[in-house]
Structure 1
Amino acid sequence: MEAKPAEVVKYLMINMGVMATVTQSVDAETAVVVAEAFGKKVVRGALPDDDGVAAAGVANMGNAIDEDPEESLLPRPPVVTIMGHVDHGKTTLLDAIRSAKVASGEAGGITQSIGAYQVTTASGQEVTFIDTPGHAAFSEMRARGANATDVVVLVVAADDGVKEQTKECIATAKLASVPIVVAINKMDKPGADPARVLNELMNYQLLSTEFGGDVEVGKVSAKNKDGLDDLLDKILLQAEVLELKANPNRAAQGVVIEAGMKQGLGTVATTLIQRGTLKIGDIFVAGASWGKVRLLMNHTGARITEAGPSTPVQVVGFDGVPGAGDVFTVVDKEETARTITDSRRKLLRENQAAQMQGDLKGNVEAILSGMLEDGAKEKMELPIVLRADGPGSAEALASSLRELVSEDEYFKVTCKVLTAGVGEVTKSDIAIAGVSNAYVVCFNVAANHQAVEDARRGDIEIGYYNVVYDVLDQVQERLDRIRSPTPDGVYIGRAQVKVIFSIGKVGNIAGSEVLDGEVRRGSNVRIMRMGRVVHEGALKVLKNVKADVEAMVAGTECGIQVSDFEDFQEGDFIECYIDE
């Protein structure tokens, strides 16, 4: 408006009662009033984000903005998502179908991210497969797989039946309104019982065609490559019913399946093209990132010049790392891409600031409520700095870590993920960890040399993992140790103080009942009261009635005296440890 910032702030405060700073955002109505007060004419518009992209010059941004004419639509390959419980053979089945070793390259034999591949059947028809992880930590990633697919293949082990993640996959597919084809795998195993699997699936409204339902079921052995042609026929039959078509002669649009950093290439995003054709040199927008296509690679890593509908392709040329599930859209010019991403990044920053304020308010309220509530648990947090090989992995792991908890009657310990980023650990990550005394978790990534040196100097621990089970299990162990720290030695038993005896010059003796294990004279002890450690020392005297004894076992009563401590209270716990 060619006005000094101080004048605008002054007008807001005095005339409108808005206590604003120079960098603060105001709503549109307030902005109009202020601008008109300064003699400016205001024309109301809209930021060019997902709902106003067309006005900003984005070519064909979703069905909500434009529809392809019926005559421009051509048949396209079906996109099939492989889902199922962990270790039921999803990747091995896909491996058998496309005759390439994929499962052998997965840490722990399980898929940690989403992979997209395209195969050609014996009849010459192309099918695009998306392989999603089966572990519970990757529910969000499985959901993205279903939302980008035409058909879901639900893999169930014939010797194991329907499991927890199987149920999640069924719910995910139904939520996305995607038809399901069931693949009963591991038919070669001695304990295979397909009838049991079919009966269990009926509990989730999946009735096979042989029972009069509409769900196609294929019985396969991925290991022996039996029944694969029959399964592919059932998939293609389902795809034929859907009459899948797309317009290849237009600007490309798709969805980011997974993204990460690769040495020498920068950000590489596996993208599923849903309509149009993506070409080298195209300018695109994906979430809050934009770029120009510098390189296209197919699922085998070979370079290609273009990718049509239902084609999974690795795109190089992003200015940042997009999120898994972000809409990928080709735009007409660089200026448009910058405008869109700038507005999205601004909105993202505002949302993050609002969330931080909300978290701060929630923390203050939690502290105050804890002060007011009688007998409230003391809450502690384990700070974590998380770095992963892709945004999908980072997001899913962060979500799972936040759900971990260790609690007892007095204490509750949870995880607080300070940052969850993509790529190697850097100096800034170590700086954050140093300030907050955080544990650094690296999932399929490493720390650079400078970060390692800083971590050593600051005594900051870095954990390297390539299997999600290990991350969750070891962080859970840390939470348990925070809640109940162990002094030097090995835990051997615990007693509870029932009554206190005061014996002249001897001092106070704790009349106690041994609850588990044994208590032993000379052992290290820790005295716990209301979840707090009130003393650590040595068990000096142990008596059974009046006789001195070496040890007392669970279920017995004894008298305990601890070195340099007499302030026993009824209900105290005495935990005993011995040197290894």
Structure 2
Amino acid sequence: MYKKRKDAENRKFTRPIEYSTKLPVIKVWKNITPRDLGQILNRDMNYISQLFLNNLKHPNEPIEDMKLLQQAIRRSGHRIEIQANPTNKLKELEDRDIYPRPPADKSLLRPRPPVVTIMGHVDHGKTTLLDALRHSSIVEKEFGGITQHIGAFSIVLDSSATVTFLDTPGHAAFSAMRARGANITDIVVLVVAADDGVMEQTVESVRMAKQAKVPILIAINKIDSPKADIERTKRMLLEVGLQVEDMGGDIQTVPISALKKQNLNSLIEALVLQAELLEIKADYTGLVEAVVVESKIDIHRGKLCTIVVKRGTLRKGCVLVAGTAFGRVRLMRDADNNILNEVTPGYSAEIEGWKELPSAGEIVLEVDSEKRAREVVYLREDKKKLEKAEEDKVIVIQKAEEHRKEYEEKLKLKRKLGRYKLKQQGPRKSEYENDDKINLSIIIKGDVDGSVEAILDTLDTYDSNLCEMDLVHYGIGPITKGDLDLAQTFKAVIYAFNVECPNKIKEEAEQVGISIKPFNVIYKLVDDVKEELNSRLPPIEVEEICGEAVVLQQFEINQGKKKIPTAGCRCVKGTLKKSGFYKLIRNGEIIHAGSLSSLRHIKNEVDTIKTNLECGLQLADKSITFQQGDTLQCLEKVLKAQEITWDPGF
């Protein structure tokens, strides 16, 4: 009986403690590293090493013994839960994602219209050329006379050949949009003005076309201009690496006048010939593959995007995925707003029916059902979160390493000092709290994704320390009540780029003092941002020269028992003021700077001396002597407005 009782007591003593099941849980995985464990517990490596009784070899060496891991985590006051390694999860998500199909069999390929991108510098006549080819008036619709979106539309030329054209902006701010134009095109038509020649965006367009490995056809425009010089333009093209036919190369050049429609037939023939040589074909069967050219929000029609189909045939009811957006095709329209029943490879269309707005440049892929589309969108969102976590992990490791080194250095210094305390480095916290920073908070709302992207890219070039620029929010579509709430919270200025602001929103904004600024030309918007930044800067005190005098001779005046040196001067520029600040300059060097004690004309004490008048002048510092030919500058301290030095590249 005694033995049984003793065994029972022993068993009772060795039972797990009941409260251990209530310990907080941390999720770990097999072969986790001590560094990863430190991040999960939010503790440094010294603490992790103590949990393992200082038996760890390296922070990045995997812990293979799960029992050892469990004991260490129990010492930290936690329980473990085994999960899959996040790195493996990322690979699993990638395996479940959808991708473009492998290249089609040659037997399935059929000819398709070429996709031609018009590129070049701003105001070199790209849109005017398209206007002439399309027999429309696109230029009149563009604010400020410059293209600010990528236009995609198909044209049946007089030769009965069909070509899909992309009109890309030539403005510096739209480099990302031009890059997308080059990457989805078959041929680039580079428009160069005969009077201007090769300019900055011309060179950039050439670089993009070469990176995309796309053949180039050069249209030398504005040959009707009095300053046109075709040969000089060709030489400039040669200098940027374009070997034109006339100079022994293989790149065709066609001189044209888009405005007067001169020599356009030659350009069309060269374009069709280039397309035939490329033998442009596509697979019209299977799931659709396309590229988003532009996207926007319409008040009445919802979320819209313009796409160019690369493979398959798009029909009403198709389920599409683009990035983390998906939708079922409800309606398709061409550039002339005509409803389409199907869109084949090489053609563009505006699609209605998106649940979320896809970003310009995204690859569009067709899936079998909305269920599969949602699954793809969810896993892509998870993949983005994991990738972000991995990026954050690297940053955390770097910061932890920096803090560890700093701690070790301070610890060594502290031990070296012994009983003496280590002095605090840098300013105290109260000094930081009193440091009022000047900032401008802004909200950007645009009509299409490409325009918003171009504005953001331009704002990214801002790097002045005088005034911080905070981008509170940006989006596509009209200004909403949510935008007003954000603007009121952050005291932000709302910039509306080519979007309408409802009257109700305007009235509410005026009541609460929110500034809404509408623009339809990007460089005017940026100029206003500059003005807003400048308006927030406090004026600075600067010295301005208001007068200048030449010393004719020095004479001394008795004041009591002392002889005070006095300069006999003539004012040669501006006005001398008794209240001014004076600099004495001798042989180009400043000898003295200070105020006056006396300014006299003849024998009278005066406040000012004008040009060509002589005067006697005494400095407050009586020890300073003068020499004939010395210069005295009279300066005034005035408040001057500061200006931000910011070059956005316009």
Q: Same fold (TM over 0.5)?
A: yes
User: How much does 1:340 deviate?
Assistant: 1.0
Partner of 1:425: 479
CA deviations over 1:188-242 (Å, ceiling 9, x no partner): 1111111111000101110211221011111111111111111111112222222
Amino acid aligned to 1:192:
A
Gaps of 5+ in 2: 1-20, 42-61, 70-79, 403-424, 429-434, 547-572, 580-596, 620-634, 642-650
Partner of 2:452: 394
Where does 1:227-266 land on structure 2 (aligned, <5 Å)?
Answer: 227-266=263-302
Corresponding residue to 2:638 among 552, 572, 575? 575
Distance 2:426 2:200 in 1: 36
Distance 1:198 1:573, change over 3 A: farther
Partner of 1:503: none
CA deviations over 1:516-563 (Å, ceiling 9, x no partner): x98999x9xxxxxxxxxxxxxxxxx9979963139999xxxx999xxx
Q: Is this contact kept in 2: 1:405–1:479, CA < 8 A?
A: no
CA deviations over 1:243-285 (Å, ceiling 9, x no partner): 1110012211110000001122101100000111100000010
- Corresponding residue SS for 2:441: strand
Matched, 1:549 2:585: no
Q: Is this contact kept in 1: 2:28–2:82, CA < 8 A?
A: no
CA deviations over 1:492-515 (Å, ceiling 9, x no partner): x8359xxxxxxxxxxxxxxxxxxx
Amino acid aligned to 1:166:
T
CA deviations over 1:312-339 (Å, ceiling 9, x no partner): 1000011111111000111111111001
Matched, 1:273 2:309: yes
CA deviations over 1:89-128 (Å, ceiling 9, x no partner): 1000001011111111010111111000111122211111
- Corresponding residue SS for 1:255: strand
Where does 1:177-256 land on structure 2 (aligned, <5 Å)?
Answer: 177-256=213-292
Distance 1:211 1:304, change over 3 A: same
User: How much does 1:426 deviate?
Assistant: 1.7
Where does 1:270-419 land on structure 2 (aligned, <5 Å)?
Answer: 270-348=306-384, 380-405=438-463, 412-419=466-473
Distance 1:334 1:87, change over 3 A: same
- Corresponding residue SS for 2:372: helix
Corresponding residue to 2:544 among 481, 489, 494? 494
Larger radius of gyration: 2
User: How much does 1:419 deviate?
Assistant: 1.9
Corresponding residue to 2:177 among 103, 116, 141? 141
Corresponding residue to 2:149 among 113, 117, 121? 113
Matched, 1:471 2:528: no
* TM-score using structure 1 length: 0.74
Q: Which moved more, 1:290-299 or 1:453-462?
A: 453-462
User: How much does 1:402 deviate?
Assistant: 2.1
Partner of 2:432: none
- Corresponding residue SS for 2:536: helix
Partner of 1:9: 26
Distance 1:439 1:349, change over 3 A: farther
User: How much does 1:357 deviate?
Assistant: 12
CA deviations over 1:163-207 (Å, ceiling 9, x no partner): 111111111111111111111111111111111110001011102
Q: Is this contact kept in 2: 1:403–1:414, CA < 8 A?
A: no
Q: Is this contact kept in 1: 2:27–2:81, CA < 8 A?
A: no
Q: Is this contact kept in 2: 1:296–1:316, CA < 8 A?
A: yes
Q: Which moved more, 1:164-173 or 1:290-299?
A: 164-173
Q: Is this contact kept in 2: 1:402–1:415, CA < 8 A?
A: no
Distance 1:468 1:371, change over 3 A: farther
Q: Is this contact kept in 2: 1:86–1:134, CA < 8 A?
A: yes
Q: Is this contact kept in 1: 2:575–2:608, CA < 8 A?
A: no
* TM-score using structure 2 length: 0.67
Distance 1:41 1:437, change over 3 A: closer
Distance 1:544 1:17, change over 3 A: farther
Distance 1:433 1:38, change over 3 A: closer
Distance 2:82 2:466 in 1: 59
Q: Is this contact kept in 2: 1:257–1:269, CA < 8 A?
A: yes
Q: Is this contact kept in 2: 1:388–1:442, CA < 8 A?
A: yes
Partner of 1:71: 107
Amino acid aligned to 1:217:
T
User: How much does 1:135 deviate?
Assistant: 0.5
Amino acid aligned to 1:146:
A
User: How much does 1:78 deviate?
Assistant: 0.7
- Corresponding residue SS for 1:281: coil
User: How much does 1:437 deviate?
Assistant: 2.3
- Corresponding residue SS for 1:226: coil
User: How much does 1:7 deviate?
Assistant: 5.8
Distance 2:115 2:305 in 1: 18
Distance 1:238 1:400 in 2: 36
Distance 2:309 2:139 in 1: 25
Q: Is this contact kept in 2: 1:542–1:549, CA < 8 A?
A: no
Distance 1:469 1:285 in 2: 34
User: How much does 1:434 deviate?
Assistant: 2.2
CA deviations over 1:262-312 (Å, ceiling 9, x no partner): 122101100000111100000010111001000000111100111000111
Amino acid aligned to 1:574:
K
CA deviations over 1:37-79 (Å, ceiling 9, x no partner): 7699999766776x53xx56x5xx32xx422111000111110
Q: In angstroms, what is the RMSD of aligned CA positions? A: 4.6
Amino acid aligned to 1:336:
R
User: How much does 1:450 deviate?
Assistant: 4.9
Q: Is this contact kept in 2: 1:402–1:416, CA < 8 A?
A: no
Distance 1:573 1:391, change over 3 A: farther
- Corresponding residue SS for 1:111: coil
Distance 1:199 1:452, change over 3 A: same
Amino acid aligned to 1:88:
H
Distance 1:312 1:10, change over 3 A: closer
Q: Is this contact kept in 2: 1:520–1:542, CA < 8 A?
A: no
Distance 1:476 1:11, change over 3 A: closer
Q: Is this contact kept in 2: 1:395–1:420, CA < 8 A?
A: no
Distance 1:282 1:104 in 2: 35
Distance 1:344 1:218, change over 3 A: same
Q: Is this contact kept in 1: 2:121–2:192, CA < 8 A?
A: yes
Matched, 1:439 2:486: no
Q: Is this contact kept in 1: 2:540–2:639, CA < 8 A?
A: no
Q: Which moved more, 1:338-347 or 1:68-77?
A: 338-347
Gaps of 5+ in 1: 22-28, 497-516, 524-540, 561-571
Distance 1:519 1:158 in 2: 54
Distance 2:173 2:426 in 1: 31
Distance 1:166 1:72 in 2: 38
- Corresponding residue SS for 1:267: strand
Distance 1:519 1:423 in 2: 59
Q: Is this contact kept in 2: 1:543–1:559, CA < 8 A?
A: yes
